[in-house]
Chains A and B, each alone.
Chain A
Amino acid sequence: MKRPMPTPKQAAGGLHRRDFLRAGAAVATVTLAPGVTLTAFGGRAEAQASAASRWGLLVDANKCDPDCTACVSACSEENGWQDTGNPATDAQWIRKVDLKELATGRELSLPVMCQHCESPPCVDVCPTGASFKRVDGIVLVDKHICIGCRYCMMACPFKARSFVHEPVPDEARRSWSPRGKGTVESCTLCVHRVDAGRIPACVEACDVTGNRAILFGDLLDPDSEIARAIAAYPSEALRDDLGLNPGVRYANL
């Protein structure tokens, strides 16, 4: 059968082929006017971000090795960013922070990345709507409409965002994680992997080292390992006083 000439401009209207599919209809016919019908034939149901999940991380500070930077190198490799040795302009997707409690001398090390807040200040201040939260709780920058104003970088209490100052050479780019000069970027919780049912690169790398200090999972699924862990043991959010309810939590801080 010859494929009819599609009209993509009409997709902006109220009727959408995907809506038919997601409603579970294999074949849907809608009568627009006498004699004019719209027919959509079903394909596969498409996967997409769902509000039934909220993705999060649980970092166990006791398990994190101060000398290990596996998560940072894995993120750099996965997303194609490099440190240039200039902390003022370097990418800040994930970094290791070393802490020492002066009273007791206890030292600890932990990775800090975008905390994927439930109420993200970076989204509040964005003048173009480029900074947004997906329905599954992942906070992202839509670089298509980011104008590089960097308000979000100032609003973020975790300094988890950075601006791309230099052109990114083609060979350094990742097809799954586009980044380019003039836009703000941050940890995406490896959204391309999450959408494919995989775990973020930092978590995978931490598991490979055997430390298993980072746990990834769905906070809304009571049977998930992460939900059971935060229900059973104490954990806290960074800057809990701000009431942002981050998706990233820390144990044994």
Chain B
Amino acid sequence: MRLFRFLIAVLLLPGLLAAPLLAEENDSIYPDVPKALGNPHPEGNEFWRKNHMDLLLHDRDQTVRLGDREIFASLKGCMVCHAVNGADDRPVGVENPQNFCAVCHKYVSVQVDCFVCHKSTPDEDAIELLERVRPMGDTAEAAGLIDEYLEQLRYSSGRAPPGPAEATQ
């Protein structure tokens, strides 16, 4: 009986401790999408939420098949602004539920196959840049440094997406 009570306590304790935290952070049923660094996408978040898979799919073939490296959507580019740091102040991989991709994908139970092969954390030079940029906060200077880095990768948030740029009536 004593053992049973102990087990119940062990099972309930983390839940009881976490409950106020959860209540504070998640007051909606939707996932808490981590805020990104740098300039926001000119197309808006809604566009990216809806279309990121198509953009990545299109551009992966451009790169692998045609060798086109000046593409609009690249996982490597995503990882820079959307890196989320873990307890050790290093960006967390997709296996961590705090990871930018994992937050929504876990919520909707959609498996991300990208990261069987692709790296789900930024490169070392991007991590160094983020360490310099983070203390600057949400400033134009910080966004400028990130843009400069992305430009150097030849991906830019300002570049026009694939497809007819304008269809006007």
Contact = CB atoms under 8 A, between A and B. Distances in A.
A6 interface: yes
A38 B120 contact: no
Given A17-B163, A39-B168, A142-B65, A47 B119 contact: no
Contacts, number: 125
A87 interface: no
Given A10-B163, A11-B162, A17-B162, A144 B67 contact: no
A39 B116 CA distance: 39
Contacts of B147: none
A8 B51 contact: yes
B20 interface: no
Contact of B160 (A43, A170, A179, A182): A43
B67 A49 contact: yes
Contact of A4 (B61, B65, B115, B166): B166
A195 B153 CA distance: 12
A41 B160 contact: yes
Interface residue SS majority, chain A: loop
Nearest to A134: B67
B21 interface: no
Nearest to A44: B70
Interface in A142-180: 142-144, 167-168, 170, 173-176, 178-180
Interface residues of B, number: 41
B82 interface: no
Contacts of A10: 163-164, 167
Nearest to B126: A175
A18 B121 CA distance: 30
Contact of B43 (A6, A170, A179): A6
Nearest to B79: A175
Given A4-B166, A179-B117, A181-B116, A46 B64 contact: no
Contacts of B30: none
Interface string A126-151: 00000010101000101110000000
Given A35-B169, A170-B121, A48 B68 contact: yes
Given A140-B64, A180-B116, A18 B162 contact: yes
Interface string B46-87: 010001001100101100111111100001100100000000
Contact of A37 (B64, B75, B168): B168
Contacts of A17: 160, 162-165
A43 B79 CA distance: 24
B93 interface: yes
B117 A38 contact: no
A183 B117 contact: yes
